[in-house]
A = this chain, B = another copy of it.
Amino acid sequence: MRKPTIQDVAVKAGVGVGTVSRVLNNHPAVRGVTRDAVLKAISDLEYTPNPHARRIAGGKSYTISVLLPVLTTEFYTRLLDGLEAAFQEARYDVAIFPLLDRSRLERYLGSHTLAYQADGLVMATYNLQALFHEHRLRTQQPTVLVDAYAEHVDCAYMDNVTGGRLAGEHAVKAPGPIHAIWVETELDQLFQTRVFEDRRSGFMGALAAAGRGLGRECVSSFDTLAARNTAAQLLDAVQTEPGGVPCTVFASADLLAGALLDEMAVRGLQPGVDVRVIGFDNQPWAAARGITTLHQPVESMGYEAATLLLTRLNGYRGPARARRFEPSLIVRGSA
Q: Which residues of A come within 8 Å of B, CB atoms?
A: 3, 46, 48, 50-53, 55-56, 61, 63, 70-72, 76-77, 80, 84, 88, 93, 95-98, 100-101, 104, 107, 111-114, 116-117, 138-139, 223-228, 259
Residues of chain B contacted by A111 (CB below 8 angstroms): 46, 48
Residues of chain B contacted by A48 (CB below 8 angstroms): 111-112, 116
Residues of chain B contacted by A113 (CB below 8 angstroms): 93
Contact B52 A56 (CB under 8 A): yes
Contact B98 A70 (CB under 8 A): yes
Distance A100 CA – B117 CA, assembled complex (angstroms): 24
Contact B101 A77 (CB under 8 A): yes
Residues of chain B contacted by A52 (CB below 8 angstroms): 51-53, 55-56, 61, 117
Residues of chain B contacted by A116 (CB below 8 angstroms): 48
Contact B61 A225 (CB under 8 A): no
Distance A61 CA – B52 CA, assembled complex (angstroms): 8
7 closest Cβ pairs, A-B complex: A224-B225, A52-B55, A225-B225, A52-B52, A77-B100, A52-B56, A53-B56
For residue A263, give the distance in angstroms from its CB to the closest CB of chain B: 11
Contact A98 B98 (CB under 8 A): yes
Contact B100 A97 (CB under 8 A): no
Contact A80 B100 (CB under 8 A): yes
List 10 A-B pairs, Cβ < 8 Å. A50-B56, A50-B117, A51-B114, A51-B117, A52-B117, A53-B56, A63-B114, A70-B70, A95-B96, A98-B98
Distance A139 CA – B3 CA, assembled complex (angstroms): 9
Contact A96 B93 (CB under 8 A): no
Distance A84 CA – B115 CA, assembled complex (angstroms): 15
Distance A199 CA – B101 CA, assembled complex (angstroms): 28
Distance A84 CA – B111 CA, assembled complex (angstroms): 15
Residues of chain B contacted by A72 (CB below 8 angstroms): 70-72, 100
Residues of chain B contacted by A88 (CB below 8 angstroms): 112
Distance A88 CA – B63 CA, assembled complex (angstroms): 20
Distance A112 CA – B24 CA, assembled complex (angstroms): 13
Residues of chain B contacted by A84 (CB below 8 angstroms): 107
Contact A104 B77 (CB under 8 A): yes
For residue A183, give the distance in angstroms from its CB to the closest CB of chain B: 15
Beyond A48-B116, A52-B117, A70-B70, 19 additional pairs, beta carbon < 8 A: A46-B111, A48-B111, A48-B112, A50-B56, A51-B114, A52-B52, A63-B114, A70-B72, A77-B100, A80-B100, A84-B107, A88-B112, A93-B112, A93-B113, A96-B97, A223-B224, A223-B225, A225-B225, A225-B259
